[in-house]
Amino acid sequence: MIEIENITFGYKKKKPIFSNFSLELEQGKVYGLLGQNGTGKSTLLYSLSGLLFPQKGEVKYSGQAVSKRLPSVLQDVFIVPEEFELPDISIEKYVRINSPFYPKFDKKMMYEYLKCFDMPTDIHLGALSMGQKKKVFMSFALATNTSLLLMDEPTNGLDIPSKSQFRKFMALGMTEEKTIIISTHQVQDVDKMLEHILIINQNEIMLNQPVSEITDKLSFRRSED
Amino acid sequence: MNNTFDIKRFGLLLKKDFFENWRKYMLQALTLFSIILVCFIFQSLNKYSHSNGDYLISYGYDMINGQLVIICFIIFTGAYAVFLSQMMDSIRNKQKRIHYLTFPCSSLEKYLSKLIIHVVGFILVFLASVYLADLIRIIIYSLPESNFEVRSIRLLGELFDEKDNKPMALLSAIYLFVLSLYALGSTFWQKSGFVKTTVALGAIAVTGVLIIFGVAATLFTPESQIDLPKLSQGTQDILYYIATAITFVCTVFIYVLAYYRFKEAELIERW
C-alpha cells in the first residue's frame, strides 16, 4: 500500500538523512515510528504526505506518487503535525468548510471524538488553548476516515487525563481499513495501541516487526534471589 | 476524478480561502477604503476651499478629477503590490504550509483561488472603495449651503480619452507587468514579500540601467553620430501593438511562473 522506493533525501545536499532508503508498509495496521532525535522520523512522515520531495527515488501510495499531490491521493491521507494552526472561526464552520474535501468524513463520529475528549461542540477555535486545539484537530483527522493517518507526537501538549482519553479516542477510531503511523518519543502513551514497531537510525531500519513477534521473543522470569 | 481542475471542488476551495481569512480581508478592505476616502476629502477640501466656490467645470467632469485619478493610481499601485505580495500567505510558516500543501485540491486550484482573491477580488474592492468614497465626497460637497458643483470621478476616461491610446496601452501593459512581479515575489518570500520584492526589483533595475549605460558608453563616444531611421506612422503603430502584446504575454508568463514555483513548494524552502 505504501512503498518507499530507494529514496535519498537531505535538507542539505552533503548531509542526506535517507540514502537509498526503502520501506513497505501494509494496510490496516497501527505503526509506531520510533527513533532518536534527528534520525528522520518527522522527515519520513512529511515524505509520506508529499510535503518533501526526495532527491532520488519515490514514495508511492496505492501506486500513485505522493509528490504529485493529486487530490485523489490527498483526500485519503491526513497528517496531524506536532504543531499546527487553526483559523479563528467556530468549529461548526471549520467542519462545514473543510469536511467536503474528504468524501469519507463522518460528522457524527467527529462529535463522538470530541465527546471522548470532553470537548464541547459549540466552540470557537480562536478561544482554545494549544492542547484543546490539538484535541479538536485530532478529532477532525480521525473523522476524515482517510486510509492513511500520520501523527507526529500526538500526545505532546496533552495533559495526563487527556493522554488517557487519547487512548480511548484512538480505540474508537481504529478500523481495519486505516493505516495509522504514529511518530513519538512518548511510547508509554501509545504502546497498547501499536501493532507494528519501526525504529530507524542513521538511514537504517533497526527494527521492523509486529508487536506480537517482539513480545514472543521476550520472556520474563522471576529470579530466585 | 479530475485531479487537475474540478469546478465544484474549486468553488469549495474559494469559499474556504475566503471564510478562513475573512477578518483579515475585511480589515484590509476597510483600510483601503479609509485611505481613499481621507485622500479624496483632503484633496477636495484643499482644492475647493481655495477656489472660493467660483470655478468652472471643464470638459464635462470635476476640476479635480485628474488629481483624484492620480491619487487612485498611487493608492492602487501601493495597495495592489502589497496585497499581491501576500498571495502566498497560506504557506508563510511551517504550520500553514503543512495544512495548505496537503489539502485535497490540485495545485492549480489552490493557485487560481489565490489569484482570484488577490487580483480579481482586489480590483473589485478597489473600484467599490473608489466609487463609495467618491459618493461620500459628492454628498459632502453637494450640501445645499455649499455653492460647489461637484461631479463623480471619471476614472478610466481620464487615462484613455486621448485619440491615440497606444502609448497609454503600452504603459498600462508595462505597469501590469511590473505589478505581476510581486505575485512571483510572493512565491519566493512569504514574509515581508513586499519589501523584499521591491528591493529585488530595484536592484535589478539599477543593474540593468548600469549595464545599458556601460554598454552605450563603450560603443558610442560623444562625437558619434547616430542616424535613427524615420518610421512611418503605420510602422510605429505596429511596433506599439507588438510591444504591448509582448508585454501582456510576459505578464501572463510571470503569473504562470509563479504557479510553477508554488507547485514545487515543499515544507522547506529550496532555491
Computed on alpha carbons and rounded to an integer, the radius of gyration of chain B in Å comes to 23
Nine-digit cell string for B220: 558610442
- The domain ranges of chain B are 7-268
pLDDT of residue B44: 85
Q: Mean pLDDT across chain B, nearest whole number?
A: 85
Cβ atoms of B86 and B115 closer than 8 Å: no
Nine-digit cell string for A169: 479516542
Nearest to A70 among B3, B99, B267 (CB): B3
- Give the distance from residue A217's alpha carbon to the nearest chain B alpha carbon, in angstroms: 39
pLDDT of residue B59: 59
Tell me the ipTM for this assembly.
0.88
pLDDT of residue B45: 81
Fill in the amino acid letter for B52: N
**Statement: residue B144 has pLDDT above 70:** no
Nearest to A84 among B9, B98, B106 (CB): B98
The pTM score is 0.88
**Statement: residue B224 has pLDDT above 70:** no
Q: Given pLDDT bands bounded at 50, 70 and 90, which one contains residue A107? A: very high
Q: Is A85 part of the contact surface with chain B (CB cutoff 8 Å)? A: yes
- Give the distance from residue A72's alpha carbon to the nearest chain B alpha carbon, in angstroms: 7
Residues on chain B touching A84 (C-beta within 8 angstroms): 95, 98-99
Size of the A and B interface in Cβ pairs below 8 Å:
73
Q: In which element (H, E) is residue A203 found?
A: none
Q: In which element (H, E) is residue B67 found?
A: helix B65-85
The whole-number average pLDDT for the span A123-147 is: 92
Interhelix angle for B166-188 vs B65-85, to 10°? 30
Cβ <8 Å between A77 and B102: yes
Residue A106 carries which DSSP code?
A: -
Least confident of A193-197, A220-224, B45-49, B172-176: A220-224
**Statement: residue B26 has pLDDT above 90:** yes
**Statement: residue B238 has pLDDT above 90:** no
- Give the distance from residue B35's alpha carbon to the nearest chain A alpha carbon, in angstroms: 27
**Judging by DSSP bridges, how do beta strands A18-25 and A30-34 pair with one another?**
unpaired
Read off the pLDDT of residues B167-206 as tens digits, 9 standing for 90 and up.
Answer: 778 888 889 999 999 999 999 998 888 999 999 999 999 9
pLDDT of residue B190: 86
The whole-number average pLDDT for the span B139-168 is: 70
Chain B interface, Cβ < 8 Å to A: 1, 3, 6, 9, 12-13, 15-16, 19-21, 23, 93-99, 101-107, 109, 264, 266-268
* pLDDT-above-70 percentage for chain A: 97
Least confident of A76-80, A113-117, A167-171: A167-171
- Residues in CB range of A60: below 8 A, 6 or more apart: A2, A3, A4, A5, A66
Cβ <8 Å between A97 and B19: yes
Cβ <8 Å between B266 and A102: no
Domains (ranges, CATH) in chain A?
2-208 (3.40.50.300)
Read off the pLDDT of residues A135-145 as tens digits, 9 standing for 90 and up.
Answer: 999 999 999 99
- Give the distance from residue A64's alpha carbon to the nearest chain B alpha carbon, in angstroms: 12
- Give the distance from residue A50's alpha carbon to the nearest chain B alpha carbon, in angstroms: 7
A85 to chain B: closest CA residue: B95
Query: A93 or A222: which carries more pLDDT confidence?
Result: A93
